[in-house]
Amino acid sequence: MRKHVTRLSQFVIDIVALSVALVLAFELRFDWSPSMAMWERAFVVAPYAVLLEYACLRLFQVHRQAWRYVSLREMTRILLAVSTSTAVLVAIRMLSGRLQGDYPALRHGVIPLGAIAINSLLAFLLVTGVRVARRMVADARDAKRRTPRLRPVPTLLVGAGQAGLMVARELAARPDVGLKAIGFLDDDPTKTGLVMHGLPVLGRTDELARLCKARGAEQVLITMASVPRQAIRRIRGLCDEAGVPVKIIPGVYEIVDGRVNLSRIRDVALEDLLGRTPVQLDLDRIEASLRDAVVLVTGAGGSIGSEICRQVARFRPASLVLVEHSENNLFYIHRELSGAHPTLDIVPRIGDITDAERMREVFTACRPAVVFHAAAHKHVPMMEWNPVEAIKNNVLGTRVVADLAHALGARTFVMISTDKAVNPSSVMGATKRVAELYVQARGREGDTRFVTVRFGNVLGSAGSVVPIFKAQIEQGGPVTVTHPDMTRYFMTIPEACQLVLEAGTFGSGGEIFILDMGEPVKIVDLARDLIKLSGFVPDEDIEIRFLGARPGEKLFEELSTDDEHASKTAHPKIFIGHTRTASLRTVGERLDAMAEAVRMQHTQRALRLLAQTVPEARLDSQASLGYLERVSSSGAPARAGTEDEAATHDDEASDSRRGVA
């Protein structure tokens, strides 16, 4: 009932506004004293003109727009509607002028062009004005309800672009947030001295310390929607020198319909300091691949698998099938996705990828068109201690799901691999290389397009180096690093998964796509950044202690071998590695032998077969035993934070038999 009353009242207000505009147009055109003939003409034409103008408003969907949130986008629609009705009125006026000699009644349609022009302007102003007035009243009412609990913090906004103006507008309307914007900093010299949304542009960012002191700023907020990470690092350094905290609006993807979610304002995080530029995606290409398709994700509850699910859900597939071994992880990702996408068909399925019968049941029931295989055991030392389980899950589990995708006619199969598969020095890396070989070989038969995406470490994945470092910092240290020269490639989980989706649209099958990971990062530098971000001084407040390399670890990771000669694709951050391949029969025979060794729990035979299948691997099956004895005798915790725990896959390594990522 209330909705109908609201719609009726809005209709009446628009009709009254358009009628008033027409009457005032005649008054203004004739200096407030139109002749009786003109008044007669106005009153004859008014019903038709007003109905025409309102019909144009409906044509441009103006009647469906919420008055409470009117913005420039809505004003543009109103302008188009008024312009269209004006053009029709001008056409009627010209036609009536030509035909009135033969049809005298058409003289009423000869409206003065000046009156039409004035009516057009007034109609736009009045129709827009009532909506703006509605928003102003609602904003004022909300502002009274949103009283700040504490004194607002004087804040300098860095970045006077579109995102900065949106933030300024939202802060002005939300005093309850507790931030008071006092001005902008921007490195564009043409903006200095201007007033934008009621706030002055005070100067450049290199003047930050002086302006904070002069203006009494107690905080800095970075409000650039797309900003190089080097700039974030520089601004944070300037804030450290000025002794003021710095926060950030994460990015343009946080800004929806011209509004900023102020709850997303957060401290500068390690991800912001990586020195990587934002990923640009071909969204149309990805949507064409996923829209209205049945998509299945293995390891759907892990760090990478769950983020792939979040990204896929944005493109409205026909259904999204979540395959996960951990009941808790499956529960949480299913609940999150169901809340965020209530109309999407989300199918949770508990299952281990090594369980061929269960996987066949799942695949047969859903018949996926696209499969993202993110399930894997990922922790290097854990797999050194459990090599048979690594082979069982990473190799044989991959064969199970790849064969089912082939047998049931999936359109695309995308496997997540790792930089540790290049010249592997660990069991985990070698098993992922064998999985790559099998997926490549399988891709040469049938219509399913099999591709592999290989990348390095992701920040914040389950059991990765960052949360471990954070936990050590919270305990007062020490932060444990294996070697001062240890380096790794890093990217954020969302960035990696976005590139995985795009890479899945490339190629004809059998390719290994290598993601550009940027410049390698020293693990000790990562530790120092985290200590500083936590408000401590490295080596003074928090000790950094070196433990020595663990079994299977390299000092430097590789993303492709020298003989791969990686070539470019349509995306600047995705390359194709031209790797050694083998026939499906050859790889299949090796996997059959591995399966028998796994069934019999013959560890040494399984490792020999692994080394024979990946001759470039440098495996030492005794290294893990020596490392375990060394760590146990020294009393150091077996879970000490190390860089290889930040691997690409999202499996929780504590479950030795999980088929999850």
pLDDT band with cut points at 50, 70 and 90 for residue 297: very high
Euclidean distance between CA atoms 99 and 607, whole angstroms: 96
Averaged pLDDT for residues 7-34: 91
pLDDT at 639: 37
Could you tell me if 91 and 133 are in contact, meaning their C-beta atoms sit under 8 angstroms apart? Answer: no
Backbone angles phi, psi at 48, to 5 degrees: -70, -40
Strands (E), 460-515: 479-481, 487-488, 490-492, 512-515
What secondary structure letter does DSSP report for 278?
P
Distance CA 94, CA 318 (A): 53
**Active-site residue among 378, 392, 420, 532?**
420
- What is the maximum alpha-carbon separation in the chain? 111
DSSP string covering 195-238, please?
EETTEEEEE-GGGHHHHHHHHT--EEEE--SS--HHHHHHHHHH
Query: Which residues, including other chains, have CB under 8 Å from residue 294's CB and lie 6 or more apart?
Result: 317, 318, 319, 321, 366, 367, 368, 369, 370
Residue 287: burial class (beta carbons within 10 Å; 0-12, 13-18, 19+): middle
Q: How far is CA 165 from CA 70, 169, 196, 200, in A?
A: 17, 6, 7, 11
| pLDDT value for 651 | 36
With 0.95 as the threshold, say if the pTM is over it.
no
Q: Which residues of 29-40 are buried (b: 16+ CB within 10 A; e: fewer)?
A: beeeebeeebee
Coil, helix or strand at residue 364 = helix
Q: What pLDDT was estimated at residue 581? A: 67
What mean pLDDT do residues 530-538 have? Answer: 77
What is the band of 576 on the pLDDT scale with cuts at 50, 70, 90? low
| pLDDT band at residue 464 under the 50/70/90 scheme | low
Q: What is the pLDDT of residue 266?
A: 62
Helix/strand number for the chain, H first, E second: 21, 24
Q: What are 188's strand-pairing partners?
A: none
Using N-to-C axis directions, what is the helix angle for 603-613 and 584-599, rounded to 10°? 170
* Cα–Cα dist 473/158, whole Å: 30
Q: What is the DSSP string of 82-130?
A: HHHHHHHHHHHHHHHHHHTTT-GGGGGG---HHHHHHHHHHHHHHHHHH
Q: Which H or E run contains 184?
A: strand 179-185
CA 332-333-336 angle, 5° bins: 85
Residue bearing tokens 């109309």: 343
Residue in 428, 478, 487 with CA at minimum distance from that of residue 640: 478
Contact predicate 648/421, CB 8 Å: no
Residue closest to 302 by CA, chosen among 372, 385, 249, 396: 372
Q: CA 31 to CA 37: how far, in whole Å? A: 15
- Mean residue pLDDT of the chain comes to 80
Domain extents in the chain: 2-145, 153-268, 283-645
> Comparing 87-96, 225-234, 272-281, 581-590, which segment has the lowest mean pLDDT?
272-281
The whole-angstrom distance between residue 646's C-alpha and the CA centroid of its chain comes to: 20
Q: What pLDDT digit, counting tens, does each position of 631-652 carry?
A: 444 444 433 333 343 333 333 3
Number of C-beta neighbours around residue 285 at 10 A: 16
**Phi first, then psi: what are they for 575, rounded to 5°?**
-125, 160
Do 126 and 13 contact (CB within 8 A), yes or no?
no
Residues 401-446 have pLDDT tens digits of 999 999 999 999 999 988 788 888 889 999 999 999 999 899 888 8
Q: Is 294 helix (H, G, I), strand (E, B) or coil?
A: strand
**Helix spans in 444-488 (H):** 465-474
What pLDDT score was predicted for residue 492?
Answer: 73
* Fold match, 153-268 / 283-645: yes
Whether the predicted pLDDT of 656 surpasses 70 = no
- Which DSSP letter does residue 457 get? E
Burial 451-468 (b: 16+ CB within 10 A, else e): bbbbbbbbbbbbbbbbbb
What's the pLDDT band for 222 if we cut at 50, 70, 90?
Answer: confident
Angle (CA) 406-407-411 rounded to 5° is 45
Percent of the chain scoring above 90 in pLDDT: 36
Q: Which CATH architecture has domain 283-645?
A: 3-Layer(aba) Sandwich (3.40)
Specify burial of residue 580 (Cβ count, 10 A radius: 0-12, 13-18, 19+): middle
Contact predicate 499/279, CB 8 Å: yes
Q: Which residues contact 313 (CB under 8 A, 6 or more apart)?
A: 320, 337, 340, 341, 344, 346
Q: How far apart are CA 367 and CA 73, in angstroms?
A: 42
Digit-coded pLDDT (tens) for 358-381:
999 999 999 999 999 999 998 888
- Residue 147: pLDDT band by 50, 70, 90 thresholds? low
Query: How many Å apart are CA 500 and CA 309, to the nearest integer?
Result: 12
The helix/strand/coil state of 161 is coil
Catalytic annotation present for 3: no
Of all helices (H) and strands (E), which one includes residue 185?
strand 179-185
Looking at residue 271, its pLDDT comes to 60
pLDDT in tens, 467-507: 788 788 888 888 888 888 887 767 777 777 877 888 777 76
pLDDT average, residue stretch 22-30: 92
Torsion sign, CA atoms 475, 477, 482, 484: positive
pLDDT band at 286 (very low <50, low <70, confident <90, very high): confident
The β-bridge partners of 449 are 412
User: Closest Cα to residue 509, out of 583, 581, 445, 575?
Assistant: 445
| Residues recorded for the chain | 661
Residue 156 reports pLDDT greater than 80: yes
- Residue 603: is its pLDDT beyond 60? yes
Out of 52-61, 95-104, 247-256, 577-586, pick the least confident: 247-256
Distance CA 348, CA 323 (A): 6
CATH of domain 153-268: 3.40.50.720
Sign of CA dihedral 188, 194, 196, 198: positive
310-368 tens-digit pLDDT: 989 988 899 999 999 999 999 999 999 999 899 999 999 999 999 999 999 999 999 99
Q: Each residue of 167-199: pLDDT tens digit?
A: 888 787 777 777 889 999 999 989 998 998 889
- Calculate Rg over the CA atoms of the chain: 32
* pLDDT value at residue 652: 33
**pLDDT score of 272:** 60
Copy the structure tokens of residue 653.
């390594």
